[in-house]
Structure formats: C-alpha cells, structure tokens
Amino acid sequence: MNYNEKYQKWVSKEDLDPALKAELLSMDETAKEDAFYTDVEFGTAGMRGILGAGTNRLNIYVIQKANVGFAKYIASLPEGKERGVAIGYDNRHMSYKFAIESAKVLATYGIKSYIFESLRPTPELSFAVRYLKCAGGIMITASHNPKEHNGYKVYDDTGCQLLPEAADQVVQYVNEVDDELNIKVFSDEEAYPYMTWIGEEVDEAYYKEVMAIEVNPGMDKKDFKIVFSPQHGTSNIAVRTCLTRLGYDIVPVLAQCAPDPDFSNTKSPNPEVPASYELAIKKAKEVDADVVVITDPDGDRLGVVAKHNGEYVLMSGNQSAAVYLEYILSQMKEKGTLPDNAVMYNTIVTSDLGELVARSYGVDVEKTLTGFKFIGDKIRKYEQTHEKTFVFGYEESYGCVIKDFVRDKDAVQAVLTAAEAGNYYKKQGKDLVDVLNELYAKHGTFKETQIALAKAGAAGAARIKEIMDNLRKDAPQEIGGVKVVKVEDYGNSTCSDGTTIQLPKSNVLKYYLEDGSWIAARPSGTEPKCKFYFSIKGTDAKDAADKTEVFHKSMMEIIGE
C-alpha cells in the first residue's frame, strides 16, 4: 500500500479515535506522506516517534500492533505467560495510556503483567524484570527526545533490552499483523485479572541496591552540596530518596520536579544540550553547590556540572565517565578489591580516554556497538562463564551502569557515583574537573563532540542513506588535512587493514586518523538524524579544540552539508 492508500484506510475507519480522526482530516499532502510513508521501526532502543495519527507515528494502534509481536514472543518462551511482563512508563503524553494498552494486549494472549502504580525511571523497570523474575519488560518512554515524542522499549528476562536476534523475532510477529486498526484487545474488565500493580516493595529493593554501590560507605557528607533536577521526569523520588538516606545535602530544582509532559520549565529535557542546565546552574550559584546533576526524563542518562575555580563547568558523558572510572578503580585498587579479571565495557563511538584509564589499572576493555543492550549482553555472558568480572559500563551519550543489578543505563546509580566522587575529591582539595585535567596530563588531551544532522521525513531518510552510501563508495583519504590510516565498516564487518570486525553488522563507518584522532558516522536508531562522532586528540585543550573545529568543517564539506 502506498501512503495515500494507508491514509484512506485510516480516515475511513468509523470508530477511529476522535482526536486522531481530527488530525487526519487536517493533514495536507506533505503531512499525509510523512505520517504514512513508512511504519515506525525498532531502532537501537526500541521504537520512538512523534505522537499522532499514522503508521509512522506513535498512537494506540501502533502500540497495540507492537504488543501483538511482543506478546507472541513472550508466549513462545518457557512459562512466558505465567512469568509475565513488567511494565513501566514515564511522564510523557500518552505514557500511562500506552502502558495500560500494552497490558491489555498481553492479557488478550493470556500473559500476566506487573505495572508500576505511577511513573518510574527506566533502570528501575530493568531491575523490576529481574526482581520479579519476569519473562520480559516494557518501558513506555522517549528518553530525552522532545515533548512531541513517545516510545516503546522491550526487555528480555535479564532486564536487558532485546538483542537483535530476539528483536527480529518480535518484528517478524509484528509484520504478520495485517490490519493494525482491527486488533482484538481485551476490555478493561477482561484484562484486569491478568494485571498486578507494583510499587513500594520494588522501589525499596531497588533503592537498597543503589545505595550499596558506595565505594567508601560512611564517608562524611556534611560539607558537600548537590543541586539536582529530574527535568520534569521520573527520577525525582528515586534520586532524592537514595541521596537523602545516605546523608547528602541535596537541593532540588523544584520548578523542574513536577512530572510535566510539556517540560514547561526546561529549555530541553536532554542532558546533552547545554541549555537544559540553566535553572540548575542558577540554583547552584544561589546555594554555592559543589556539583549539579540532571537526569533525562526517563532517568537513564546523567549530566554533571562541576564547580571549578568558581565557575560551573559542564562535563560531557565521556569526561564524567572517565572520572567515575578513575575514582572507582583507584579506590578498589587501594582497598584490594579490584578483581584480577576485571573488565569494563564501552562502545565503538566512545572516547579513548576511558579505555586508557581502565587499562592503567590492569582492567580489560571490550567494545560493543551503540546501544546499551550490547553492554547488557556482555555482562550476561561473563556472569555465566565467570571468565571476567564486570566493574563498569558506559557509552558517550551520558549513560553508564556501575553495578549490574540493572542491565540498562542507570542515572540513579550515576548520580550517587558523581556525588561520592565529588565529595571524596573535595576532601583532597580537588574537584571533578581537576581530576579530569589530571587524566589528560597522564593519558593525553581528548575533545569529544558530535554533529547530529536532523533529516526528517521520507526525503530526510533518503538523504541519510545517500550520505552513508557516498561515504562507503568514496572513503575520504584525509580529513582536515590529516591522513586517514584505517577505515572500519561495521555494515560489512570489514577493516581496511584486512581484518574482520567481530561484532554484529551495523550501519557505522569509523575513520582513524594519523594523529590518534578518530571520526565515526552512523544514522541514529531512534531519531531521524545522521550522527557524526569526533574524538580528537591534541597536545593540550586549545590544540584539541582548534583541531576539532577544523575536523567539523572538513567532514561537513566531504558529505556536502
């Protein structure tokens, strides 16, 4: 069916949701095409999309269709129906509705569900799957995306997002649904016997595990002040409860604590965007805080601002994770608790600095594709074989996990680690930026940046494909005047030095440069964007910054943007 045929099918449905019907009737031809030219697809973190009418939008019909696929997958697992599915949701428009709709579809297939009584952070959903011994999990969230978006993530029985093989199974089942507008779904009354509400018991179990990650429990905290914002999202109660119980002086940004789906008091709910810190930094200046921590709406990513020489300095996800690593590994080594077979995981688009820190302590490093599910899978592998012991996992996009009772990014754990490290170093007369600068002095100065080219709609998807195709067909020999010495193509698992990449295939290209820098390109798995990652090595901070500017300009010229 072409987009217009799909549109006619939807607009002709007599009992279509009235709000969606009104939206359809208001569409011009461009809007029709964008809403129906394709179906929302599973990316690196499930489905995300704009809320609204159409097969390329998030609405109850698309959610029902996705849940048919997941229900069939769960039903195919040993005792899957009885073990059931844990369901969480964030603060966004339609999140609660989509959560209940998910449970109703599962019930239609005879599957139990355990639904949080109110919004919870994504990492707690991952924890709940494991704690309740469920066969899987569902999280309704669009993470750090704009307010117009929502999303749907699915988890396996270890609390890890579905790996490609399992996700492909779900997609196959989804594609077997002929008509998303006429899916049989139990009524509320029929579904209720299959649904169980969860809350305080799971909360307390999760909080207990989070608070136990302290490396130096009992350290005096009275002279260390933290400003915190959940960005109108899910982590407000979890973060404030854990830090308060541990004795931290935490000052919330109250204007951003209400779970507001419109994100009314923040310029962006994304910790990767500097404007999202404005209110928190203002509060920090008022109370003379030592650090500022903000989570994204679903509580899996953490942004950190450290007070340094009287100024508040924003740290990138690569920088903060390197400092966490330095703190955790140095303290474990000092206490004699660092395992001989320790391993740290990060991704192919993560800075080299964290790897250098880990290896300086004798910790092995393994890289994965982008997507925290691959880190979760690594944790599972060694949990079974005991070949290596997990000590840390992170990716550049402000997400990490410290202890593996969660198998996804966990900003609640990260807040505690940022607070503990900041407090520890303050007692030594240093701050987090001082520690970062020490790491640069020891391992080399790195500057990591990203360019995300937004390319929406059918034309945008075509342009992203064109960019990647052109880069494959005509790989640059130099970038910014620096020779490219190696090219990795994760799409066909090949490397220009003749070696084979031992990772699942993915549409990623990575260019290694003669000066120790690298640049990678990949289409986003959750947004209509083509992303370019820059890890630039310099002799000092100014050199790295100057070179970054040159590389940015050169790469955009190469792709014709």
Distances (CA, A) of 264 to 195, 258, 259, 260, 283: 33, 10, 10, 7, 17
> 411-426 and 236-245 are packed helices; what angle lies between their axes, rounded to 10 degrees?
40
Question: Alpha-carbon distance 374 to 44, whole Å?
Answer: 10
Residue 342 has pLDDT above 70, yes or no: yes
Cα distance from N-terminal residue to C-terminal residue, the chain? 33
Confidence at residue 45, expressed as pLDDT on a 0 to 100 scale: 66
Query: pLDDT grade, residue 457 (50/70/90)?
Result: confident
pLDDT of residue 41: 83
The residue ranges of every structural domain in the chain are 3-198, 207-214+222-443, 445-559
Q: Which helix (H) or strand (E) holds 77?
A: none
Give the separation between CA 19 and CA 352, rounded to whole angstroms: 49
Beta strands in 77-144 (DSSP E): 85-89, 113-116, 136-140
pLDDT digits (tens, 9 = 90+) for 18-47: 999 999 999 999 999 999 999 998 766 689
Tens-digit pLDDT profile for residues 534-556: 999 999 999 999 999 999 999 99
**What is the pLDDT at residue 428?**
97
DSSP tag of 308: E
Mean pLDDT, range 367-384, rounded to an integer: 94
CB-CB contact of 35 with 54 (8 Å): yes
pLDDT for 245: 97
Name the CA dihedral angle for 311, 213, 393, 537, rounded to a multiple of 10 degrees.
Answer: 30
pLDDT band at 155 (very low <50, low <70, confident <90, very high): very high
Kindly list the catalytic residues: 143
Contact present, 121 and 413 (Cβ < 8 Å): no
Question: Token pair for residue 307?
Answer: 């007070």
Domain at 3-198, CATH class: alpha beta
Residues with Cβ within 8 Å of 495's Cβ and at least 6 positions away in sequence, in order, are 486, 487, 488, 489, 501
Residues 99, 89: Cα–Cα separation, whole Å: 6
Distances (CA, A) of 150 to 40, 91, 145: 11, 10, 8
Q: How far apart are CA 155 and CA 337, in angstroms?
A: 32
pLDDT of residue 270 exceeding 90:
yes
SS3 per-residue string spanning 313-374: EEECHHHHHHHHHHHHHHHHHHHCCCCCCEEEEEECCCCHHHHHHHHHCCCEEEEECCCHHH
Global pTM? 0.94
Class of domain 445-559: alpha beta
What is the residue-wise DSSP string for 40-64? ---BTTBEEEEBSSSTTSBSHHHHH
Which residues touch 97 (CB under 8 Å, ≥6 apart)? 60
Where does 156-219 show beta strands of DSSP type E?
195-198
Q: Which pLDDT band, with edges at 50, 70 and 90, does 167 fall under?
A: very high
Amino acid 42: pLDDT: 75
Query: What sign does the dihedral 122-126-129-130 (CA atoms) show?
Result: negative
Residue 129 tokens read as 């799957």
* pLDDT given for residue 340 in this prediction: 96
pLDDT tens-digit map of 383-402: 999 999 999 999 999 999 99
Name the architecture of domain 207-214+222-443: 3-Layer(aba) Sandwich (3.40)
pLDDT at 404: 96
Q: Do domains 207-214+222-443 and 445-559 have the same CATH topology?
A: no
The type of residue at 497 is D
Interval 497-546: pLDDT, tens: 999 999 999 999 999 999 999 999 999 877 789 999 999 999 999 999 99
Residue 391: half-sphere exposure toward Cβ, Cα within 13 Å: 33
Q: What is the phi/psi pair of residue 548, to 5°?
A: -60, -45
The mean per-residue pLDDT over the stretch 275-281 comes to: 98
Task: Give percent above pLDDT 90 in the chain.
Answer: 95
**Is 476:510 a contact under the CB 8 Å cutoff?**
no
Q: Check pLDDT > 70 for residue 71.
A: yes
Backbone angles phi, psi at 377, to 5 degrees: -65, -40
Tokens representing 458 are 């059918």
